[in-house]
Structure 1
Amino acid sequence: RLGQSHSEAVEAAYKVAIARCEHEKLKSADACLMEVIGEKNPEHFFVATQDVDLRKKLQEVPGVPLIFGLRNALLLEPPSSFQRKFVKTSEEARSCMTKSEFKKLKKSTKNILETKEIGDSSNKNEELENQKLEMQADKKTHYARKGMGVKDRPQFKRKRAKAPNPLSCKKKKNHENPSTSSGK
């Protein structure tokens, strides 16, 4: 129906996944979009709209990237202050240890301390052997690098002073002896 010029756009539109809304009564487009996106945008939808009021509402929903058109370009709106605050608080929550993680950490540290107390005498001999093995491994890698031609630090070539450009220099004037030229 649209013609040959729009056929590629129609084919691309058929490939896009469709999000269905599950409400029985008719709702406005704004209300329907807000319902589909929800409070935290679990489906990770991008919203492209020219409606300023809808964009302001969606700026308060964390994790909703907003796209709008300006002249002949599509622009991605930067995150709002509300979205930045949400990201900051969620990062802080993820960086802190939970109670279960803290209990596991305590338990593992107790186990490590107990094994250290039991094996202190045997550990000293093992540590010396481990140090010797590490030294040997370091020497081997050093020699292997030299054999491969790999150097630890790159060598920089020093620039030496060069002669001036001969085209930019004036030619020397030849001073002929006056006695030789006037002797004819």
Structure 2
Amino acid sequence: MKITRQKHAKKILTLYRYSFRFREPYQVLLDGTFCQAALKNKIQIKEQLPKYLMGEVQLCTTNCVLKELESLGKELYGAKLIAQRFQVRSCSHFKNPVGGSACLLSMTADNNPHHYFIATQDQELAAKIKKKAGVPLMFIIQNTIVLDKPSQKSVAAVQSGQTSQIIPEHQKQNIEHLKDEQELSKAPERRGKKRKRVSGPNPLSCLKKKNKPAAPPATSASEQAKRKRRRKRSKAAGTEALKAS
């Protein structure tokens, strides 16, 4: 597990501990989508979650989640077997079960008094959880369990003093840092025109030009005729010398 991921989780957990009274053992409510993703990515939830959160963890679910997985048949049979190993928390839908997402959302009502973490892959449920203050959200990305950054509601509640605990100075700095990260993630990317760099002269153009060798002077026709006559005379003289010998 990468150290950077643990540092990121530790910073977020510190906020929830100081501001929303989260304590070990951390209670993590899991739904069927999270169990199915863990099965698909071969993640050992019981082993990896305590290491990631750096503390004791209680994995739990609800009757509604188990009923939903049972109704979906063989496709989610493996996820149902995983969820059955967890502690079952009592919900208000024992007689009339509801969907897993609706049940988990109701478990965090009234400012999440039992300090539940919500572990889900359901995007709609995650969006609703982010509208609540003091509810940590977990999901799986690329074979890795991830603790999401505190929602804007959580950061706003801390800054406005709605939380019941006194926040140390070093924790206030972490909150400001988390707020800055959220604002940067929302800010649109600036796409300006690239400035043209002032380029110097082409180095090849600075080289001295090489002087071309001068062409030999052209000979006239009369000079060529004289040269031929000289060659003929020298040949004739040579032949006469041979005959005389």
How high is the TM-score relative to the length of structure 1? 0.41
**RCO comparison, higher one (Cα < 8 Å, 6+):** 2
Larger fraction in strand: 2
Q: Which has the larger radius of gyration?
A: 2
Using the size of structure 2 for normalisation, the TM-score is 0.31
